[in-house]
Every structure is written in structure tokens, then in C-alpha cells.
């Protein structure tokens, strides 16, 4: 009887681990907004990482979070670090990795708590016309095995996408004031 129980338990544990082998590990989310401002003004605002404190959902989840900045904002290598007791915020840092002047800013986000991880984010500006700019906020990451099994049950487009969409809406409000 004990052997049968152990076999059943082993199967119950093995099935999710096997499923995780065949489950995707990467995910990408993208949202966009059109802002009624010229591209150069929008880009010049976005390239300063500290400005994300004015529109990012995550930056505003804990007004008491500890923040630290290293380097020169608006340049490659600038790092914005945070630490919060709020589990939705946790601890991590974001670094400007590449700037294509007037077009795109690439970031690397390193999460330390509550879970270790890494993600890449990109803000892209495109001229719609002389006085309108489309901003695309792209986020992609990878979940390691066996944690990638959670991607079967989590809708990252909804979870992360809603935060990106809200952040872009906030950005639009800030820049169009």
C-alpha cells in the first residue's frame, strides 16, 4: 500500500515537471499609445529613466520605496535601483543599455526579490505626424525551468500588458498637460 502511494505521489510530481519541459519559457508583451506631442519632445522625456517615476505603474506602487541612482541619467549605463517591502515591487534595478537617439531606448531590468529574474524593455518612438508620436513599450523575459510552468496558467499579456497600458496612459497625461 505504501509503495502504491509513493508511486502515485511520484507521478503527481513528475507530470508537471514533464509538462514544463515542453512549455514555452519566453514571453513578450507590447503596448502602445499616441501622444499629441512632437517625437523629439517625447523621446527627450523618455530617455531619462528617473521620469519613469512619473508614469510607470510599478514605480508608483510603493511611495515609500527606497531608490538609488548610479551614473548619469539619460545615458547608457545609468542605473535606477529600488527596494520595497511591498512584494509586488520587491527589489531590483533597471539599466539603460542602449540609446538610438530620437528612436529607441533599451533597458535591462534585473529583479532580485521576491524572485530573481531578468527582463528586457524597450521604449520606441515613431512619428505619426509633426505633432503626434506613437510610443511602443515592449517587455520580454524568460522563466527558467520549472517555473515556466506558471506561463500555462498566467496571462502575461493581461498581467504585464495592463501595467504597460496604464503606464503609457499616465505618460500621455503627463506629456499632454
Q: How many domains are contained in the chain? A: 1
The pLDDT assigned to 27 comes to 87
The total of other beta-carbon atoms located within 10 Å of residue 67's CB is 12
Pick out the chain residues at pLDDT < 70: none
Question: Do the beta carbons of residue 135 and residue 123 sit within 8 Å?
Answer: yes
The pLDDT assigned to 114 comes to 86
Q: Residue 6 is part of which domain span?
A: 2-175
The pLDDT assigned to 119 comes to 94
The pLDDT assigned to 1 comes to 84
Q: How many helices (H) and strands (E) does the chain have?
A: 4, 7
Q: What values do phi and psi take at 27, rounded to 5?
A: -145, 150
CATH of the domain at 82: 3.30.530.20
Q: Is the peptide bond before 46 cis (omega within 30 degrees of 0)?
A: no
The pLDDT assigned to 124 comes to 98
The predicted model scores a pTM of 0.84
Amino acid at each position: 500500500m505504501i509503495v502504491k502511494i509513493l508511486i502515485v505521489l511520484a507521478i503527481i510530481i513528475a507530470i508537471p515537471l514533464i509538462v514544463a519541459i515542453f512549455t514555452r519559457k519566453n514571453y513578450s508583451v507590447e503596448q502602445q499609445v499616441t501622444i499629441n506631442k512632437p517625437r523629439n519632445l517625447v523621446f527627450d522625456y523618455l530617455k531619462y529613466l528617473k521620469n519613469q517615476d512619473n508614469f510607470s505603474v510599478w514605480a508608483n506602487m510603493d511611495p515609500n520605496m527606497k531608490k538609488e541612482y548610479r551614473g548619469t541619467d539619460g545615458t547608457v549605463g545609468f542605473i535606477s535601483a529600488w527596494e520595497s517591502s511591498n512584494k509586488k515591487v520587491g527589489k531590483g534595478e533597471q539599466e539603460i543599455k542602449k540609446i538610438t537617439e530620437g528612436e529607441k531606448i533599451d533597458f535591462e531590468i534585473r529583479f532580485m526579490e521576491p524572485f530573481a529574474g531578468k527582463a528586457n524593455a524597450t521604449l520606441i518612438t515613431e512619428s505619426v505626424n509633426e505633432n503626434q508620436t506613437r510610443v511602443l513599450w515592449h517587455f520580454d523575459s524568460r522563466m527558467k525551468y520549472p517555473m515556466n510552468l506558471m506561463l500555462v496558467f498566467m496571462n502575461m499579456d493581461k498581467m504585464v500588458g495592463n501595467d504597460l497600458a496604464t503606464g503609457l496612459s499616465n505618460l500621455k497625461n503627463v506629456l499632454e498637460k
